[in-house]
Amino acid sequence: MVDTTRTLALAYFPRKFCGEAAQFELGLHRLAPMAPSGWGVVWVELDHDDQDANVRAVREAGADLLLVHANRTQMVETVAFVDAMTEQSPELALVLSGWVGKPAYVDECFAISAGLRHPVFAVACGEIEAIIPPMLERLGDARLDADSLVGHRGIVAWDAQNGTWTGDDEFVFVEDMNTLPDASIDHISKEWRDAHAGWVELTRGCRYRCAFCFASCYQHARMRSFSPERIRNSIRLVAEKGVKVMGLYTASVSLDIDLMSTVVETFRELSLSDVTVVGALGPIDKKFIPQDKLERLSRLDWNVMTVGLQSITPEATRLARRPDDKDTFARTMEYLSGFVTPEVELILGLPGDTPAGFRQTIDFAFSLPVNVTVQTFRVDPWSSYSGQRELHGLKADFTDVARVYESKAFPGDQIRQSASWLRDVARSSRERRAHHVALDGEHLNSRDASASR
């Protein structure tokens, strides 16, 4: 009997344990049990530097269809890999998925090389559990060529001959989270394994959809949640892998405090006192009452709690659709500091901000008992600002995670000058309550967090 099984290869570059793209990475781990009859799923861990070895690994996997997962920080090597596949295996159908899955963003990234030339290429726009299984079902045993990639929901196919895209790039998402199988973490990357870390997904979506954020992709402000029972089971499955750090994937741990109560109760029931947690909080508006929202969270051992602030400049927060209230934010940081050192996130170069406004935001953050992480503004795929680059005069470097280096708000060299000012201030002896300060992943100083608490 002839074996008619076809192989979907999931190719990915290993990355550090990080919440930014966890949703899409967890989606990869659900595809095997969701694959239709006739399709098998294998994993290919890619090398960041050796593209010839990567092509050989894909061939050895016997792939009929290659799904390449990528995040913003991996696009330079992803472009190099696709270029290598174009030269050495142009006949293999290739679909790019993940956080970067938007054709306009892909165009910008491939402009750093010779342009997108692969003849059988497409982009998966959205949550892959809603896109890839139906696509595989429709493909069946059909020949996998450029035409076969056209007409699938959530798939935008590349027409290499005409240099155009075919398909609707509307973000596709899973309606009912509880229809999804559990995400196995058996194939997590080496970086996750070395960190003894794993993710538990609580919710998807966001009520705020800030203009700079990927969450702008959601056409509504509705949150989608896993049931409490599914969350309990996910925590148990991840804990059985022996993780020491458990990421809680949700837009904000305060948006559904009942779900967080489920997490707290499950940790107690499973005696996970030696497991620390990672999660995000925010925005914090005038109605936010720390004691009511966060008292239950203090029962967990927090490794990192990131809290988005971004800016206190009124015009920047208005354009970004941020509802944060400065006084409430300060009170919340004081409350949180009783059981964790909050990691406050700021953005340098937001539309509507100014160099003076950025300095005022830094002064405010330095007055709080927190760690401060600053990122230079980046043009993220699916964000509202990605479609407003001309309006705001955004000039971005797509060889450097699409960081903005000039805009109407920060003309000329003012972003670089503001970054230089921050480095000087962070390394000075100036008095402040903030502990650790970082800019674009660069550690600017290091202080004992317990000394000024």
Res. 238: pLDDT tops 50:
yes
Token couple for 76: 């330079």
Torsion of CA 26, 211, 444, 453, to 10 degrees: -80
198 forms beta bridges with 246
CA nearest neighbour of 136 among 65, 58, 44? 65
- Find the mean pLDDT for residues 252-278: 92
Q: How many CB atoms lie within 10 A of CB 194?
A: 11
- Find the mean pLDDT for residues 35-57: 95
Question: For residues 200 and 218, what is the distance between their CA atoms, to the nearest angstrom?
Answer: 21
Q: According to the model, what pLDDT value does residue 186 have? A: 59
Q: Are residues 133 and 281 in the same domain?
A: no
Task: List, in order, residues 6 or more apart from 3 with CB less than 8 Å away.
Answer: none
The structural domain count of the chain equals 2
Q: According to the model, what pLDDT value does residue 193 have? A: 67
Q: Are residues 162 and 249 in the same domain?
A: no
Is 311:320 a contact under the CB 8 Å cutoff? Answer: yes
Does 155 fall in a domain? yes
- Find the mean pLDDT for residues 183-204: 73
Question: For residues 388 and 367, what is the distance between their CA atoms, to the nearest angstrom?
Answer: 33
Q: Can you tell me whether residue 401 is helix, strand or coil?
A: coil
Question: For residues 346 and 355, what is the distance between their CA atoms, to the nearest angstrom?
Answer: 13
Res. 166: pLDDT tops 60:
yes
Q: Are residues 293 and 389 in the same domain?
A: yes
Average pLDDT, the chain: 91
Token couple for 171: 């973000």
Does 200 fall in a domain? yes
33-47, 199-213, 310-324, 401-415: which has the minimum mean pLDDT? 199-213
Percent of the chain with pLDDT over 90: 72
* CATH code, domain carrying 124: 3.40.50.280
Does 101 fall in a domain? yes
Q: Can you tell me whether residue 430 is helix, strand or coil?
A: coil
Q: According to the model, what pLDDT value does residue 292 have? A: 74
Q: Are residues 207 and 278 in the same domain?
A: yes
- Find the mean pLDDT for residues 303-317: 96
Res. 230: pLDDT tops 50:
yes
Does 287 fall in a domain? yes
Amino acid at 89: S
19-28, 197-206, 345-354, 356-365: which has the minimum mean pLDDT? 19-28
* CATH code, domain carrying 423: 3.20.20.70
Q: What confidence tens digit (pLDDT) does each residue in 67-92 have?
A: 999 988 899 999 999 999 999 999 99
Q: Are residues 121 and 234 in the same domain?
A: no
102-116, 130-144, 153-167, 251-265: which has the minimum mean pLDDT? 251-265
Q: Are residues 239 and 95 in the same domain?
A: no
CA nearest neighbour of 356 among 275, 277, 427, 414? 414
pLDDT band at 447 (very low <50, low <70, confident <90, very high): low
Token couple for 133: 């299984």
Q: Which domain holds residue 154?
A: 6-166
Q: Can you tell me whether residue 230 is helix, strand or coil?
A: helix
Q: According to the model, what pLDDT value does residue 451 have? A: 35
- Find the mean pLDDT for residues 43-69: 96
Q: According to the model, what pLDDT value does residue 302 have? A: 96
Is 201:26 a contact under the CB 8 Å cutoff? Answer: yes
Q: How many CB atoms lie within 10 A of CB 380?
A: 23
Task: List, in order, residues 6 or more apart from 387 with CB less than 8 Å away.
Answer: none
- Find the mean pLDDT for residues 22-50: 90
Does 173 fall in a domain? no
- Find the mean pLDDT for residues 165-170: 93
Res. 221: pLDDT tops 80:
no
pLDDT band at 187 (very low <50, low <70, confident <90, very high): low
Q: According to the model, what pLDDT value does residue 453 have? A: 32
Sign of the alpha-carbon dihedral angle for 33, 39, 43, 48: negative
Q: Are residues 282 and 430 in the same domain?
A: yes
Res. 189: pLDDT tops 90:
no
Q: Are residues 142 and 232 in the same domain?
A: no
Q: Are residues 87 and 225 in the same domain?
A: no
Q: Can you tell me whether residue 294 is helix, strand or coil?
A: helix
